[in-house]
């Protein structure tokens, strides 16, 4: 299962980007994706990401959990499908 959430600023409300990762992995291993419009977020070694607009702290919002289909699941469904009539 994959988890996705917006990175929002506590101070100005700006959506600085998104976080994507596996549900079973630590958040530190998640992928940070900057916003496509605007300054995104700022990263400093050993620090948490900060808002690229005002420098405020960020929090996770609009969390969604998505199931990722594995290729084996897709082929199993194809094997069950009935042939089309000719």
pLDDT at residue 1, rounded to an integer: 83
pLDDT at residue 78, rounded to an integer: 56
**How far is Cα 41 from Cα 56, in angstroms, rounded to an integer?**
10
pLDDT at residue 83, rounded to an integer: 58
pTM (2 d.p.)? 0.68
Q: What is the DSSP letter of 78?
A: H
Classify residue 9 by burial, with Cβ atoms within 10 Å: 0-12, 13-18, 19+: buried
Average pLDDT across each block of 10 residues of the chain; the chain has 86 residues. List them in order.
91 93 84 88 90 93 80 56 59
Q: What's the CA angle centered on 6, arms 65 and 40, to 5 degrees?
A: 145
Q: Quick one: tokens of 36?
A: 């496509």
């Amino acid at each position: 299962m994959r988890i996705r959430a917006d990175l929002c600023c506590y101070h100005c409300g700006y959506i600085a980007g998104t976080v994507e990762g596996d549900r079973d992995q630590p958040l530190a291993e998640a992928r940070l994706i900057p916003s496509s419009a605007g300054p995104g977020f700022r990263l400093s070694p050993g620090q948490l990401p900060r808002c690229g607009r005002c420098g405020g702290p960020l929090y996770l919002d609009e969390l969604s959990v998505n199931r990722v289909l594995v290729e084996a699941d897709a082929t199993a469904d194809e094997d069950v499908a009935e042939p089309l009539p000719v």
